[in-house]
Amino acid sequence: MERRVVFILALLVAGTSRSEAVGYCSEYGGSPYDYRELLCQSLVFYEANRSGKLPSDQRVEWRYDSAVDDGAADGVDLEGGYYDAGDFVKFAFPMGFTMTFLAWGYISYEDGFVQAGQVEYFEKTLRWATDYFLKSHTAPTTIWAQVGDSDLDHTFWDRPENMTMARPSFVLNETNPGTEVGAELAAGLAASSMVFQRSDPAYAATLLTAAKELFDFANTYRAVYSDNIPEGDAYYTSSGYGDELTWGAIWLYRATGDDSYRALAEQFYVEFNVAYGASFNWDNKKSGCNAVFAELLGGEYLTFLQQNVAEFRNNYVTTPGGLHYFSQWGSLRHALNHAFIAFKAADLGIDVDANVEFAERQVNYALGTNPSDRSYVVGVGKNPPTHCHHRAASCPDIDVPCGWTYFDTPDPNPHILYGALVGGPDENDVYADNRTNFVQNEVATDYNAGFVGTLARMVINQPL
């Protein structure tokens, strides 16, 4: 189906009601589906999840400084970065994936950010992560890979500003290595160096130096990171580091043009079976590798990418309402991550109509073209979720004590977490806007990363 036809269908399904644009992005024309507004909102979400000392241009006004002493007990400065998901732990592995995916979205669809006036906001979003990772990389073979104790953290329903529990830090180094984290950070910092190349070349060079060191560390001292940070193991267990090594190498090749990285990337691609069993999320980088290899190297990699996206379209459940259903936990994030890969394939001329139809259907489903006739983006569109599983947004104004009663209450969140994509419906398109159901209502920095990139692609094709 043609793109335009899909768009018109979306308008018909969503009805004629055009609501006003809201919140921090009110310069836009409103919905249904002003992708520029949505791109703007999707970045506002990241402001709400900032850890550390907040800058004066922070837009989300119900957040304040928090966790400014992170790392102090270990004599390191680990202030900053992003809180992860339903909690206040900072996990470098998914945060690193978030950084890489955000940067990749920008590199792929910069025009979308330009057309939506979001370049500056995007750079701030990305820099909040890259600055943190530069800090956490205190020596060539060292990464502080987690701050916070997940179990302690999960007993606490409150704002990060009012945390009182201990925030231990966990390190990866030569005797306690973790390949996934180093290789993912290498990929993300290399990709980010490409983003900042024009606006801040000195910063871009710093990022690239760190990326090379981290890649060497990851490749030389090999171990599954979650074996060496048992704390992280319970939450973000890695299924293996081969995909991250491949991902780190191909991004370093892309950022440097150095053929030795290309040779390593191609070697790992075969050694770790990257062509097959693909998906794309914080743990699995294989489909991302397929797309980047196809784009940079062409040839047989185009075929592998074609097979990979055809599998997404044909070999998984499609809900009655048209959602590509990969798994229950955060169903929409998987759909949008895979939509991004399908867009990349279409951009390379692979099964263009089928891939564009598939990808646009996923995005528009999340925005409201679905059997529940509702938006899955907090604060935006028709009947958006009002009970997302987000501690800070569920708490009242800063001076009023929070706690578990705010978790249990059927009342909506007092603060609107604009631009956050919630987990999403089940395989029958059924969804409950219920804070206690974190499988459907959690929001996360990695969930929003694919959303940002696919929205930028949609902006480029949006009839103005």
Q: Which residues are catalytic?
A: 433, 442
Of 167 and 390, which has the nearer Cβ to ligand NAG? 390
E strands, 229-347, are 317-318, 324-325
3-state secondary structure of 143: strand
Tell me which residue of 161, 48, 146 sits closest to 419, measured CA to CA: 48
Q: What's the per-residue H, E or C state across 347-409?
A: HCCCCHHHHHHHHHHHHHHHHCCCCCCCCCECCCCCCCCCCCECHHHHCCCCCCCCCCHHHHC
Tell me which residue of 255, 296, 295, 250 sits closest to 269, measured CA to CA: 250
Give the whole-angstrom CA distance, residue 68 versus residue 391: 18
CA 174 from centroid of its chain's CA atoms: 29
Of 245 and 388, which has the nearer Cβ to ligand NAG? 388
The contact set with ligand NAG (CB under 6 A) reads 48-49, 64, 83, 85-86, 160-162, 171, 173-176, 390-392, 398-401, 410, 434, 436-437, 442-444
Of 121 and 447, which has the nearer Cβ to ligand NAG? 447
Of 27 and 174, which has the nearer Cβ to ligand NAG? 174
User: Least distance to ligand NAG from the beta carbon of 144, Å?
Assistant: 10
Of 83 and 312, which has the nearer Cβ to ligand NAG? 83
* Residue for token pair 């130096």: 209
User: Least distance to ligand NAG from the beta carbon of 92, Å?
Assistant: 15
Q: At what angle do helices 242-256 and 259-271 cross, to 10 degrees?
A: 160
Of 328 and 437, which has the nearer Cβ to ligand NAG? 437
User: Least distance to ligand NAG from the beta carbon of 376, Å?
Assistant: 14
Cβ-proximal residue to ligand NAG, closest one: 392
3-state secondary structure of 313: helix
The two tokens of residue 347 are: 């951009």
Quick one: 121 exposed, middle or buried, by C-beta within 10 A (0-12, 13-18, 19+)? buried
What is the per-residue DSSP string for 121-139?
A: HHHHHHHHHHHHHHHH--B
User: Least distance to ligand NAG from the beta carbon of 336, Å?
Assistant: 15
Q: Residue 146: what are its φ and ψ, rounded to 5°?
A: -160, 140
User: Least distance to ligand NAG from the beta carbon of 58, Å?
Assistant: 12
8-state DSSP, 172 = E
User: Least distance to ligand NAG from the beta carbon of 26, Å?
Assistant: 22
The two tokens of residue 330 are: 């955060």
